[in-house]
């Protein structure tokens, strides 16, 4: 349980202890404040109680943990935590991070410490990369900060140039037998990696440096049609040759085995007898474009 939290929040053991202590102290303070309020105004059980509880959870608790987090040096974690809950509940807009009521408090979320910086790894045209960039262009908490490509001249590099996103063209030797570009990624504050049509296997140096923080999209319903050599057109040809009535997309975590990590999301489409690898590829791309950015956002705001 603690290990899972540590992974989820990407914090050291000591920091996790501090965070749990802040939750406990903040919670106790909130309870104490609630009791005081109830006694002060002599509130009877009933509707007013419910109002006090709503007030406690929505206002007093966030304030309590933010204040307690200050002396522990964990303010940015809790600001981010509360902001994420706010975005999820629709209290803060995901574009600006400001209160949806324009006269309300203006919370600037352009603080780089509060932002999740994503690196997109791609080898091809980059239509998925483009959709992801579009989706997060004005996002307050998530930014596409780097494009990583292994193929000179790939369309995704032109997209990076047009979008003013830094890109790295990676070298095979350094990627597989060197440091796998971990220092470059860490220096740029990258904390999440999205593979969007990246054709090289991910070395263990990278999966170890980003445990549970690398996801991939595969153009079929895994575990079918996965593994080495199963990419792009080859997948669609195999699906049609097998006479399958449906295909789809799989978004999954990445481990050291091709197309193997835990499945996060799948969506299906019908394969008609008249479908060719090209028409099926088009259907799959539509599914990918519709779902991939939203799944990434959901995962990161979890």
Q: Tell me whether strands 263-270 and 246-253 are parallel, antiparallel or unpaired.
A: antiparallel
For ligand GRF, give the closer residue by CB, 52 or 215: 215
Q: Which of 219, 226, 248, 293 binds ligand GRF (CB under 6 A)?
A: 219
Catalytic residue among 135, 138, 139, 218: 218
Which residue has tokens 């969506």? 267
197: contact with ligand GRF by CB under 6 A: yes
Q: Which of 124, 226, 248, 261 is in the footprint of ligand GRF by CB under 6 A?
A: 124
Instruction: Please tell me whether residue 10 binds ligand GRF under the rule CB under 6 A.
Output: no
Alpha carbon distances (Å) from 28 to 32, 42, 238: 6, 21, 59
Residue of the chain from 288, 291, 293, 297 that contacts ligand GRF (CB under 6 A): 288
Does the footprint of ligand GRF cover residue 83 (CB under 6 A)?
no
Q: Are 11 and 61 in contact (CB under 8 A)?
A: no
CB of 250 to ligand GRF, least distance (A): 9
**# chain residues binding ligand GRF, by CB under 6 A:** 17
The answer to whether the Cα torsion of 137, 90, 288, 261 is positive or negative is positive
Question: By C-beta, is 41 or 234 nearer to ligand GRF?
Answer: 234
Asked if 285 is an active-site residue, the reply is no
Rounded to a whole number of angstroms, the minimum distance from the CB of residue 184 to ligand GRF is: 22
| Residue 293 found at the interface with ligand GRF (CB under 6 A) | no
CA distance 144 to 190: 9
Neighbours of 285 (CB within 10 A): 16
Q: Interior CA angle at 199 toward 198 and 200, to 5°?
A: 105
Give whichever of 52 and 170 is closer to ligand GRF, judged by the CB atom. Answer: 170
125 contributes a contact to ligand GRF by CB under 6 A: yes
Residues 6+ apart with CB under 8 A from 140: 83, 87, 92, 93, 94, 95, 96, 97, 109, 110
Is 128 a binding residue for ligand GRF by CB under 6 A? The answer is yes
CA 289 – CA 125 distance, rounded (Å)? 13
Q: Which of 127, 150, 191, 266 binds ligand GRF (CB under 6 A)?
A: 127
Map residue 265 onto helix, strand or coil.
strand
Residues of this chain, 222-261, that bind ligand GRF according to CB under 6 A: 231-232
- In the list 196, 221, 239, 280, the residue contacting ligand GRF (rule: CB under 6 A) is 196
Cα–Cα distance for residue pair 287/221, rounded to 1 Å:
12
User: Which residues bind to ligand GRF, rule: CB under 6 A?
Assistant: 122, 124-129, 196-197, 217-219, 231-232, 284-285, 288
> Active-site positions?
218
């Amino acid at each position: 349980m603690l290990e899972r939290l540590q992974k989820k929040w990407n914090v050291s053991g000591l920091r996790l202890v501090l965070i749990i202590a802040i939750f406990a102290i903040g919670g106790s303070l909130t309870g104490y404040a609630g009791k005081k309020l109830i006694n002060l105004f002599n509130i009877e059980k009933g509707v007013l109680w419910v109002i006090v509880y709503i007030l406690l959870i929505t206002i007093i608790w966030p304030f309590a943990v933010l204040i307690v987090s200050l002396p522990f040096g964990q303010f940015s974690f809790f600001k981010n935590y509360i902001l994420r809950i706010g975005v999820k509940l629709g209290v803060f807009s995901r574009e600006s991070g400001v209160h949806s009521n324009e006269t309300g408090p203006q919370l600037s979320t352009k603080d780089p410490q509060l932002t999740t910086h994503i690196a997109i790894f791609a080898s091809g045209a980059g239509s998925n990369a483009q959709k992801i960039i579009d989706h997060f262009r004005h996002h307050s908490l998530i930014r596409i900060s780097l494009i990583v490509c292994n193929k000179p001249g790939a369309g995704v590099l032109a997209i990076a140039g047009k979008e003013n996103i830094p890109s790295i063209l990676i070298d095979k030797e350094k990627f597989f037998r060197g440091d796998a570009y971990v220092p470059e990624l860490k220096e740029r504050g990258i904390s999440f990696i999205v593979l969007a049509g990246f054709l090289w296997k991910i070395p263990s140096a990278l999966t170890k440096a980003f445990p549970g923080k690398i996801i991939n999209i595969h153009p079929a319903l895994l575990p079918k049609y996965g593994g080495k050599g199963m990419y792009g057109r080859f997948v669609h040809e195999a699906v049609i040759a097998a006479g399958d009535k449906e295909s789809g997309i799989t978004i999954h975590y990445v481990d050291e085995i091709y197309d193997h990590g835990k499945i996060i999301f799948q969506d299906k489409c019908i394969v008609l007898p008249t479908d060719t690898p090209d028409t099926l590829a088009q259907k799959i791309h539509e599914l990918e474009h519709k779902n991939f950015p939203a799944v990434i956002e959901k995962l990161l705001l979890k």
